[in-house]
Amino acid sequence: MAKSIYQIQIALKGFKPKIWRRILVASDLSLSDFHKIIQTTMGWTNSHLHQFIKNRKYYSPKMEDDDFWEESNSVDYKDLKISDLLEKEKDKIVYEYDFGDGWMHDIKLEKILPFDSNIKHPVCLAGKNNCPPEDCGGVWGYAGLLEILSDPEHPEYENYIEWLGGEFDPEYFDIEEVNELLQEEDYGCFDVWW
């Protein structure tokens, strides 16, 4: 397949109002770099394991000490590109981040555009709403957190503010900040052991 530009929507599953981003990336982008771009554009900190899911196959980096790798229908994505999983417009995959909290993201290939070296990529074109805080308990935990934060009289309010390190705005999204991070060498993503 000739190199092209993919317009992709990333949307967190199971939460309203919708938390989403629209990005442009090269079709020959590695899945490991795509993971970093998702982390940066959504606002995660790359602190947990992740995988891509398509047709009941799980694409992730192979861990040396994973005794169940062969039994789990897993594929080492080391040599795979995004175009290996998303081939035509409207193709979808799922990206799971943090197996404990289970943050599931719908990834949809919205458009395939001709490659143009003048188009800056990766780039975030649009998005809405703040990424949930890490380790808040998944979609249900995040909903509970927002309920507590909406009531300063709630007995847990001060504990949550302290845990968050200050105020939290669920509607916050700064596209300029995201695009600045995407221009960094490692797409603004924290480098951790996986």
Architecture of domain 4-129+173-182: Roll (3.10)
Q: Token pair of 58, please?
A: 């799980």
pLDDT tens, residue by residue, 60-69: 998 777 777 6
Mean pLDDT within 109-114: 97
Inter-residue long-range contacts of 101-104, CB under 8 Å, 24+ positions, other chains counted: 101/48, 101/135, 101/136, 101/137, 101/138, 101/141, 102/138, 102/139, 103/12, 103/44, 103/132, 103/138, 103/139, 104/12, 104/13, 104/14
Q: In Å, what is the CA distance from 57 to each residue of 11, 68, 170?
A: 20, 14, 33
pLDDT at residue 129, as a whole number: 98
Cβ within 8 Å of residue 32, ≥6 positions away: 61, 77, 78
Question: Band of the pLDDT at 72, cuts 50, 70, 90?
Answer: confident
pLDDT tens, residue by residue, 1-29: 679 999 999 999 999 999 999 999 999 99
pLDDT at residue 1, as a whole number: 64
From 16, 97, 101, select the one nearest 53 (Cα to Cα): 97
Q: Would you say 50 and 96 are in contact if contact means Cβ atoms under 8 Å apart? A: yes
pLDDT at residue 86, as a whole number: 98
pLDDT at residue 191, as a whole number: 53
pLDDT of 140 over the 50 cut: yes
Residues of the chain with CATH 3.10.290.30: 4-129+173-182
pTM, to two decimals = 0.93
Q: Would you say 114 and 7 are in contact if contact means Cβ atoms under 8 Å apart? A: no
Which stretches does DSSP call E strand in the chain? 4-12, 20-26, 50-54, 57-60, 74-76, 92-97, 103-114, 123-128
pLDDT of 74 over the 60 cut: yes
